[in-house]
């Protein structure tokens, strides 16, 4: 699957960060991780820290799938509102999912600090704006639901939004529990930490089969000839994971993003804030460390990579027009625009753990707008499972729910 348009921003910005070889000899390990994007990197770091012997394979160059196109708004907020999630999966599961999402931001911050990764990880406020007066009652109900479970949120009215953020909205939920980063550098940094503990990382190498062996091992031939034999397999292949499953767990969409040329200042937009809105598809916005505005949205159901990529220029123009209307005193010019494929689940939650279709594998399918934070949650759950430790949260994200 072609997940991104040519030259997403992080690849242009960072250039060649590190190189990894293709697999040229047979390997044996405790855990084979398929996928060397941000999800695979989080797992490689965590599982090597747990003492597992790890091999990572990616059919692309490292980090050049969905990770390279991610805008890395690390929101604790799940695409499904807490109120809605309570109706769909039950109050206890919904509340716990939101609490775990808040915790995942802290976990990612600690990962970046402990591994000394220079990935521009910054704690941010999130501003979730009510797009019309019609949704104000729902937004206020959402605020109360989050307060009930201990999330630190506040309400800003239209006057406060204009004064503090220059936003022309009728209200917003504001929270200090979010963050942003450079996901490409974070992924490379975590893989470097895993490699220092003995992980072997190979790119441009594709797994072609999964052959369960007597005794529980899995033999995985590759397109290059050599084979990896592992006790466990972790599927960190993101949106491409659907190909391994008959159960329909994801609906694919396309999203579009741009980054402006550097500005003397991003004011009136504060550099420590993230913006998104209740409209669907929603506009989202943040500032970068080098004083650019990074914005995205205009999601649609375009499935063809060629059609998606042909829409980038027109979609970016619409996004820029909306952002410019919010901040008329800024002179905004698009420097780079791109598109990517993403997926949504029926309830907004990830799928984590074993599927009965492939019992030898553990899946980490963090779909939606929270892929990175969901991956941090998945690493905790699957690490516990591999170590034989009970994890009460695993059932929330199970297959077949």
Alpha helices in 6-90 (DSSP H): 9-14, 38-49, 82-89
* Per-residue tokens: 70: 């991610």
Greatest alpha-carbon pair distance for the chain in Å reads: 68
pLDDT for the residue numbered 15: 79
Which letter, b or e, does each residue of 300-314 get, where b requires 16 or more Cβ atoms within 10 Å of its Cβ? eebeebeebbebbee
- What is the pTM assigned to this prediction? 0.92
Distance, CA of 380 to CA of 390 (rounded, Å): 11
Of 352, 287, 350, nearest to 323 by C-alpha is 287
Q: Which residue has the tokens 């059932």?
A: 395
pLDDT for the residue numbered 14: 84
Q: Which CATH number is associated with domain 9-70+184-249+348-397?
A: 3.50.50.60
Distance, CA of 169 to CA of 171 (rounded, Å): 6
Distance, CA of 281 to CA of 284 (rounded, Å): 10
Of 33, 37, 80, nearest to 382 by C-alpha is 33
- pLDDT by position in tens, the chain (length 401): 444 555 677 877 887 889 999 999 999 999 999 999 999 999 999 999 999 999 999 999 998 888 887 888 999 999 899 999 999 999 999 999 999 999 999 999 999 999 999 999 999 999 999 999 999 999 999 999 999 999 999 999 999 999 999 999 999 999 999 999 999 999 999 999 999 999 999 999 999 999 999 888 999 999 999 999 999 999 998 767 788 888 888 888 899 999 999 999 999 999 999 999 999 989 999 999 999 999 999 999 987 888 999 999 999 999 999 999 999 999 999 999 999 888 889 999 999 999 999 999 999 998 777 889 999 999 999 999 999 999 999 999 999 88
pLDDT for the residue numbered 7: 66
Q: Which residue has the tokens 């309570």?
A: 86
User: Residue 109: exposed, middle, or buried by beta-carbon count in 10 A (0-12, 13-18, 19+)?
Assistant: middle
């Amino acid at each position: 699957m072609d997940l991104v348009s040519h030259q997403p921003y992080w690849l242009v910005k960072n250039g060649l960060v590190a190189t990894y070889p293709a697999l040229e000899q047979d390997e044996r390990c405790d855990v084979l991780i398929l996928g060397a994007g941000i999800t695979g990197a989080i797992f490689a770091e965590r599982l090597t820290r747990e003492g597992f012997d790890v091999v990572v394979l990616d059919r692309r160059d490292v980090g050049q799938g969905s990770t390279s196109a991610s805008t890395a708004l690390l929101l604790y907020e799940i695409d499904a509102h807490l109120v809605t999630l309570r109706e769909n999966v039950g109050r206890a599961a919904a509340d716990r999912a939101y609490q775990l999402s808040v915790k995942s931001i802290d976990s990612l911050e600690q990962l970046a600090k402990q591994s000394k990764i220079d990935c521009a990880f910054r704690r941010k406020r999130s501003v979730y704006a009510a797009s019309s007066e019609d949704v104000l009652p729902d937004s206020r109900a959402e605020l109360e639901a989050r307060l009930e479970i201990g999330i630190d949120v506040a309400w800003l009215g239209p006057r406060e939004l204009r004064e503090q953020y220059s936003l022309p909205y009728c209200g917003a939920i504001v929270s200090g529990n979010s963050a942003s980063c450079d996901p490409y550098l974070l992924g490379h940094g975590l893989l470097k930490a895993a490699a220092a503990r003995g992980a072997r990382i190979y790119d441009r190498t594709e797994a072609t089969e999964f052959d369960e062996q007597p005794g529980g091992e899995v033999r995985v031939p590759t397109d290059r000839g050599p084979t990896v034999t592992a006790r466990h397999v972790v599927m960190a292949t993101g949106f491409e994971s659907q190909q391994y499953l008959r159960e329909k767990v994801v609906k694919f969409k396309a999203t579009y993003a741009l980054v402006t040329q550097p500005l003397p200042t991003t004011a009136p937009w504060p550099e420590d804030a993230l913006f998104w809105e209740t409209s669907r598809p929603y506009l989202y916005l943040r500032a970068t460390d080098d004083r650019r505005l990074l914005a995205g949205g205009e999601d649609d159901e375009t499935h063809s990579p060629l059609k998606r990529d042909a829409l980038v220029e027109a979609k970016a123009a619409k996004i820029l027009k909306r952002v410019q209307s919010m901040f008329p005193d800024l002179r905004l010019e698009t420097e780079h625009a791109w598109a990517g494929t993403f997926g949504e689940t029926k309830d907004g939650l990830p799928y984590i753990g074993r599927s009965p279709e492939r019992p030898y594998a553990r899946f980490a399918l963090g779909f939606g707008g929270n892929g990175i934070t969901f991956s941090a949650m998945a690493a905790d759950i699957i690490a516990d499972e591999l170590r034989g430790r009970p994890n009460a949260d695993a059932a929330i994200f199970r297959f077949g729910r």
